[in-house]
Chain A
């Protein structure tokens, strides 16, 4: 096995284990911290796939902004005690069975499929900042500008929603 494969297996293991810990840890603060570990593992996968720009954006947006938001809300709501009641046992069993069946279906559907991987031609620099910037500001200029309106409305909405008395 080459070093790349070792890195791949390590990152996959890390991502899946910490994703499981997000779901199963009792304390919400631990969930957030494990989610950060998952995000860093995914960023490592992006680097492995030579998508450097997305790796940087992923770390900045997720680990930098969204996770701080989550931690801040958990702090505001004072959820750091293990007071959360569990769902009823039969609901949990049904959920696990349903998700297991979904996973089996997904894997089974891929069993006979031949993923047609082309030879790694690696057209000069897929995923670098330069090429992505060119694509983003030529081909996808309008969606880019529309997303700024989305952000503005999200910001206004968030500020308005968290006002003390809405009436």
Chain B
């Protein structure tokens, strides 16, 4: 198996750092709550990619199982988060985070 020969591990770290930064940037500059959710997914995926890269280079299976669990938690988080978003939209009629500045409607 010479699949990943020729790509240093550091490239994957840089790639993950860049992708994480893009996700954090999106959370900061967008106002739409759904887009912010997507950017959180982007950050989670950057971390997952880093973990898989390390796991693959070190020859350790446990990290990939952790990534599996992160995916499971991300799926649950998205389901609950979008349900909350729908409820907020039904009450406040917007998903703009600058308008949603109250804890109670």
Contacts and interface: CB of A to CB of B under 8 A. Distances in A.
Contact of A57 (B53, B71, B77): B71
Contact of B13 (A54, A115, A140, A154): A115
Contacts of B60: 126
Given A102-B24, A127-B55, A150-B73, A161 B84 contact: yes
Given A15-B19, A66-B74, A132 B64 contact: yes
Interface string B1-31: 1111111111111110111011111101111
B56 A103 contact: no
Given A39-B45, A77-B95, A158 B79 contact: yes
Contact of A23 (B30, B73, B78, B86): B30
A135 B55 CA distance: 14
Interface in A119-167: 120-123, 126-127, 131-132, 135-136, 139-140, 143, 147, 150-151, 154-155, 157-159, 161-162, 166
Nearest to A162: B83
Contacts of A107: 14, 17
A10 interface: no
A1 B52 CA distance: 23
B38 A35 contact: yes
* Most chain A Cβ neighbours within 10 Å, of B23, B42, B60: B42
User: Chain B, interface size: which category?
Assistant: 35 or more
Contact of B76 (A76, A121, A154): A154
B64 A23 contact: no
Given A70-B38, A110-B10, A157-B80, A147 B59 contact: no
Interface in B56-105: 56-62, 64-65, 67-69, 71-80, 82-87, 89, 95-96, 98
Contact of A132 (B11, B61, B72, B76): B61
Contact of B41 (A66, A127, A159): A66
Contacts of A4: 3-7
A163 to B, nearest CB: 9
Nearest to B86: A162
A38 B45 contact: yes
Contacts of B30: 23, 84, 87
A35 B39 CA distance: 9
A84 B32 contact: yes
Given A38-B42, A77-B89, A135-B62, 4 more contacts: A45-B12, A46-B52, A123-B59, A135-B65
